[in-house]
Structure 1
Amino acid sequence: MTNTGGQTGGATPLDMLIIGQGFGGMYMLHKARGMGLSVRAIEAGDNVGGVWYWNRYPGARCDVMSIDYCYSFSNEIMQDWTWSEQFAAQPEILAYANYVADKLDLRRDVLFNTRATTMRYDDARALWRVETEGGEVFEVTYLVMATGPLSVPKGIDVPGAERFGGELYLSGRWPHHTVDFAGKRVGVIGTGSTGIQIVPVVAQQAQALTVFQRTPSFTLPMRNRKLDAGYVAQIKEHYPQLRALARNSFTGGVRAITSRPLFSVSVAERERLMSDAWDRGGLEFLGLFSDLLFNQQANDIVADFVRRKIAETVHDPETAATLTPHGYPIFARRPCLDSGYYETFNRDNVTLVDCLTDPIQEITATGIRTATAHIDLDVIIGATGYDGLTGAMMAVDITGRDGRSLREKWAGGAQSYLGLMMAGFPNLFMIAGANGPSALANFVLLNEQNADWICDCIDHLRAHALPGIEPRPEAESAYMHTVVAIAEQSLMPKANTWYTGTNIAGKPRFFPIFAGGLNKYREMCADEVANGFPGFVTTRADADA
């Protein structure tokens, strides 16, 4: 069952093809090599790094602590690499990805500037045939989608963008050269986590900045800081223990999480706890109270605290009111961390446009026209988000067993077993797939766990001389019932976000993420391996052989 030869019929035979070279794809390539598989990877960019290769916009920074947001599989890498800040900026994260790629000599097995267009499963031969935009063809036993949850930018869905005569940029496809905003009138469309990072940086450079906001986000102060040598030495000394704790935590990080419900403490005490968390910065709010995402009354109290902070920070009451979120639970949208976002609206060169009351109607040759005014602009930045979780896979024409397409299977929302495999798509594996913990967990640790599980599965197939495997439909259905049931116990599905797909016109509203915690998810995956993969069945091709 090992493909090691040259091209056959114009196709390159491989044991494994990996789509994507972000952190998940990079680790998968390293692991597959260690198993002795013939393996290649393809990547649409011209280097490794995934979302951190593409996201070069001003202020781009990770909202997970850098000591958590890095690989754990190699003690040598953990000891050799030193982070400079508590929350690393994009250039440093991309430098880290390149360091790992160099260390592991990954690029020799990667085709860069290469994008897959069609993937078809050959039932009779139990192989995947993959074609690319450039005409390359691969026939592979194992196909791994390491495309990530945020790799397809939404774009600027405003009429007239093509006729704008100034500079037009998309945050998720930022140019590799430096963009100069000095003396320019800049408009930013979108105030999710990306817009919140862009606005303070551009405001310091631009002559005038206009921020076009539709739905305001809750954002907390990051309070980023440089890491001193003593702290770094302590972390490195205890990295193995910290990693073990992180793997078995709810989020996959070392941030403290309490079992204390909000109403178990006095009003004065909870006010003190929230004030301290605000002053310390980061995502400490998420760990303050155990019922924050399950008890609406508790959530309202924390949300009201943040609303008061907005009113205290922003000088103009009308602007403060426009920036203040209402109508959805705090942290049901992606938690945002900022560096002076609310303070930026106190600057004389910054203007906020409320697109709920004054919607954008079109982009003109010289700026943006809303219902009430025309704003002259030299630069427009689209911080409009992504077709998250499913967009990258749905962008490829994928056809599984018996000619069934992925677009048909996912017409009502993503469905899989453990976010790792799908019934009807033998030997197609997903890393950080839509139905796993995905955006709710430490993404790098999740990537490692998923790739390790895939290797365990392939070891099982090879040990038993099996050509392929896929989930049992009943196992997939039961797992999806669990995903939905856990989500419905929380407040997470109550907001319109990329989590639920409501940022994309025509996309079914569905919360496809496993919200039971990385620790519980890891247990479920480990049980499947330990019990001999009871939720799976060998492929029809194997049964007929």
Structure 2
Amino acid sequence: MTAQSLDAVIIGAGVAGLYQLHQLREQGFTVRAYDAATDVGGTWYWNRYPGAKFDSEAYIYQYLFSEDLYKNWSWSHRFPEQPEIEQWFHYVADALDLRKDIQFETTITAAVFNDDTGRWTVSTSTGETIDAQYVVACTGMLSAPMSNLFAGQDDFRGDIFHTARWPRGELDLSGKRVGVIGNGATGIQVIQTIADTVDHLKVFIRTPQYVLPMKNPSYGPDEVDGYKERFEELRQTLPHTFTGFEYDFTSAWGDLTPAERRARLEADYDNGSLKLWLASFAEIFSDEQVSEEVSEFVRDKMRARLNDPELEDLLIPSAYGFGTHRVPLETDYLEVYHRPNVEAVRVSDNPIGRIVPEGILLEDGTVHELDVIIMATGFDAGTGALTRIDIRGRDNRSLKDDWSRDIRTTMGLMVHGYPNLFTTGAPLAPSAALCNMTTCLQQQTEWITGAILHLRENGKAVMEPTQQGQDDWVDHHDDLADANLISKTNSWYTGSNVPGKPRRVLSYVGGVGAYRERTQEAAAAGYKGFDLR
């Protein structure tokens, strides 16, 4: 079969992939996107579990490059649910006429760089071979599910699902004995949604989570008009805040009196969003005393709702600070555990041993009999989607092997040794940990488009980070990360949820606005830190 020749292959048709396809196509490049799904949406295609919804406000989880594209879609709620989000992706794909250049139900299995030609040979699950000058990986920060974790999963007599591979169509859980493994942001959405449907629900809890109550009003015409009128304000603001949200840190802890601090915490908590985490006091990430005071504020809020010493001990964190894990938004999640059909099972000191035909076997020999097991067990974040592809760079070096030793990138946009491979949502850039994803992915894809245009305009064919440029970025990233309490906490933020994964804070913690400035400065300096040839 003759290889198809393209200027660029895009891997993924989610937020980054759709916008990257649009940009490169508008600049006259021959480009095609590939996705394993049957339609667009990326994360929001796969994550269709009960209760899946935004926890970024809908009006900021949008593209800001086109006012018409923004204003011709109206959201029904502040935090809409997955079906509506998926419809928005369909709207974008149709409005920009993107589907004709997307190949669905196709997995990229390998990408090999040819040192002689300076081009990539890309292989697909459908048996195709593509010759491309550039590969742009829009594979997602949280898209490689940790689904094969326990011995005996294939022996289970009931149904077992990972939340990120939920079956399409309705799944009737009524009258079933259901177990949920995992109580992070996804697990919480599932638990609070199905508790009143199932016959009996068992939640297997290893690590308790700080939670914040979500306020999710519906939007009528006045609310929709109100946020649409803010388009220019949001377009100017979001790329420059610390996390790409509309709100930002504005007060230093030490500049306020105790009463003023309390008032600020109460106001941010009552906002019903992630504001308490992402815009109260930046010191929660660096000052252990401030972290403890804010953590205790949240614990008090949780205690008041639980009002049960045993549940408080199981569900309220004490071993790490508020905000150093991903903070979930929830709706009556804590109250679920007061229901007679819900049982919380502690597995921190009595872990899951294996899955047996009847259900879940704990190490002490206890068997929990179940009809359905829901695995809300997270992802191999940042690296997993790329290391599951056989990517070979210069001299046949393997990205999987390189990252199994040390996770290194240049600004999360490229990797030394892998010329003309561009990445979005990758390690050492702002990503799902501390960023509104659309804000960050728009900026990263725009930078990639600018770099490819620069090569074309200057008669260059190959771009690669220098070793020194990458080392400098990694050192800068680590200096910031080491001073941040996130680095002291075990979570997927540091890769500690994946056995054998090298420990490193996966996301850039210097702020979205600061990251944007640094990447733009490198581009303005003729792509300082990169070799162009």
How far 1:390 sits from its partner (Å)?
A: 0.3
Match of 1:197 among 189, 205, 212: 189
Q: Note the 1:9-20 alignment, pairs <5 A.
A: 10-20=2-12
User: Matched residues in 2 for 1:445 and 1:283: separation?
Assistant: 16
Alignment partner, residue 265 of structure 1: 256
How far 1:441 sits from its partner (Å)?
A: 1.3
Conservation of the 8 A alpha-carbon contact between 1:483 and 1:512 = no
Q: With structure 2 as the length reference, what TM-score do the two structures score?
A: 0.97
Query: Is structure 2 residue 505 aligned with structure 1 residue 511?
Result: yes
Query: Is structure 2 residue 426 aligned with structure 1 residue 433?
Result: yes
Alignment partner, residue 55 of structure 1: 47
Conservation of the 8 A alpha-carbon contact between 2:10 and 2:21 = yes
Q: Secondary structure at the match of 2:94?
A: helix
How far 1:205 sits from its partner (Å)?
A: 0.4
Alignment partner, residue 87 of structure 1: 79
Conservation of the 8 A alpha-carbon contact between 2:37 and 2:105 = yes
Alignment partner, residue 174 of structure 2: 182
Query: Is structure 2 residue 475 aligned with structure 1 residue 472?
Result: no
Alignment partner, residue 371 of structure 2: 378
User: Matched residues in 2 for 1:358 and 1:409: separation?
Assistant: 35
User: Matched residues in 2 for 1:275 and 1:295: separation?
Assistant: 20
Q: Note the 1:145-164 alignment, pairs <5 A.
A: 145-164=137-156
User: Matched residues in 1 for 2:275 and 2:530: separation?
Assistant: 39
Q: Secondary structure at the match of 1:28?
A: helix
Per-residue Cα deviation, 1:226-246 (whole angstroms, up to 9, x for no partner): 123223212212201221111
Match of 2:477 among 466, 476, 483: 483
Conservation of the 8 A alpha-carbon contact between 1:435 and 1:512 = yes
How far 1:166 sits from its partner (Å)?
A: 1.1
Q: With structure 1 as the length reference, what TM-score do the two structures score?
A: 0.95
Alignment partner, residue 402 of structure 2: 409
How far 1:107 sits from its partner (Å)?
A: 1.1
User: Matched residues in 2 for 1:510 and 1:531: separation?
Assistant: 29
How far 1:415 sits from its partner (Å)?
A: 1.2
Q: Report how many aligned residue pairs link the two structures.
A: 530
Conservation of the 8 A alpha-carbon contact between 1:156 and 1:382 = no
Q: Note the 1:69-84 alignment, pairs <5 A.
A: 69-84=61-76
Conservation of the 8 A alpha-carbon contact between 1:191 and 1:213 = yes
Percent of residue pairs bearing the same amino acid type = 39
User: Matched residues in 2 for 1:343 and 1:528: separation?
Assistant: 50
- Code of the aligned partner of 2:491: T
Match of 1:247 among 230, 234, 239: 239
User: Matched residues in 1 for 2:349 and 2:411: separation?
Assistant: 42
How far 1:321 sits from its partner (Å)?
A: 1.1
User: Matched residues in 2 for 1:259 and 1:424: separation?
Assistant: 43
Task: Provide the alpha-carbon RMSD of the alignment.
Answer: 1.3
Q: Note the 1:33-48 alignment, pairs <5 A.
A: 33-48=25-40
- Code of the aligned partner of 1:522: R
How far 1:367 sits from its partner (Å)?
A: 1.6
Alignment partner, residue 533 of structure 1: 527
User: Matched residues in 2 for 1:423 and 1:40: separation?
Assistant: 25
Conservation of the 8 A alpha-carbon contact between 1:389 and 1:499 = no
User: Matched residues in 2 for 1:306 and 1:462: separation?
Assistant: 53
Query: Is structure 2 residue 417 aligned with structure 1 residue 424?
Result: yes
Unaligned runs of 5+ in 2: none
Match of 1:497 among 491, 500, 512: 491
Per-residue Cα deviation, 1:158-187 (whole angstroms, up to 9, x for no partner): 222111111211101000011111111111
Q: Note the 1:77-226 alignment, pairs <5 A.
A: 77-226=69-218
Match of 1:459 among 453, 460, 463: 453
How far 1:156 sits from its partner (Å)?
A: 4.4
Match of 2:344 among 352, 355, 374: 352
Q: Secondary structure at the match of 2:284?
A: coil
Unaligned runs of 5+ in 1: 1-8, 540-545
Query: Is structure 2 residue 410 aligned with structure 1 residue 398?
Result: no
Q: Note the 1:438-449 alignment, pairs <5 A.
A: 438-439=431-432, 440-449=434-443
Alignment partner, residue 286 of structure 2: 294
User: Matched residues in 2 for 1:267 and 1:151: separation?
Assistant: 42
- Code of the aligned partner of 2:228: K
